[in-house]
Amino acid sequence: MQYPEPIAKLIDSYMKLPGIGSKTATRLAFYTIDMRTDDVDAFAKSLVAAKHDLHYCSICGNITDDDPCEICRDSGRDQGTILVVEQPKDVMSIDRTGDYHGLYHVLHGVLSPIDGRGPDDLNIASLIKRLQANATVHEVIVATNATPEGEATAQYLSRLIKPAGIKVTRLAHGLAVGSDIEYADEMTLLKAVEGRTEL
């Protein structure tokens, strides 16, 4: 027996999300059908609004609904330090610790020759332009994940930035190798920021 087409399409839509297999997608589809109509409408509007109203900050690459983003507009932040992360979600993870008060730069990925992702596919050129335009930056903290690709990206950035006389540091390995910043607890992230080392 096949599901009616609207349910089948909903299941297929849920299966496009990362980590969602057919069983979970089916469960979510039937849960959605059982939801109140106004809740489903609000959910659909939230999806559409997130897709249409959010974009990347023209300065740091973080996700925002206003350009430049709130962090880049905050003159109270340390303008001499830029922390480089892989994804926008990493900005929120680190900023939640409340201990880092500098600026951010989002790469939108890491170098990965296997996946065909090189320097031109990342938000690296704008970082270099940003450093050239801002003489107050004295340190770049590379906070890519502790994976082979993250390490390769950190080394690449270090080779690009160090000749300009800017200190390049790396988060301490309080983060487990192979782990994502997104899933680390706040104390681990705090210790990692505090124990960063020069590349």
Mean pLDDT by 10 residues, the chain (199 residues): 91 96 96 96 95 96 95 96 97 92 97 94 96 93 91 95 94 71 77 74
pLDDT of residue 1: 72
Look at the chain and count its residues: 199
Domains of the chain, by residue range, sit at 5-53, 63-198
Global confidence as pTM: 0.80
Strand ranges of the sheet holding 102-106, from the earlier edge strand across to the other edge? 102-106, 78-85, 139-142, 167-170, 197-198
Could you tell me which residues are beta bridge partners of residue 81?
139
3-state secondary structure of 12: helix
Cα–Cα distance measured from residue 80 to residue 138, given in angstroms and rounded to the nearest whole number: 5
Cα–Cα distance measured from residue 85 to residue 91, given in angstroms and rounded to the nearest whole number: 7
Please, what CATH class does the domain formed by 63-198 belong to?
alpha beta
CATH number for domain 5-53, candidates 1.10.8.420, 1.10.3720.10, 1.20.1250.20, 3.30.930.10: 1.10.8.420
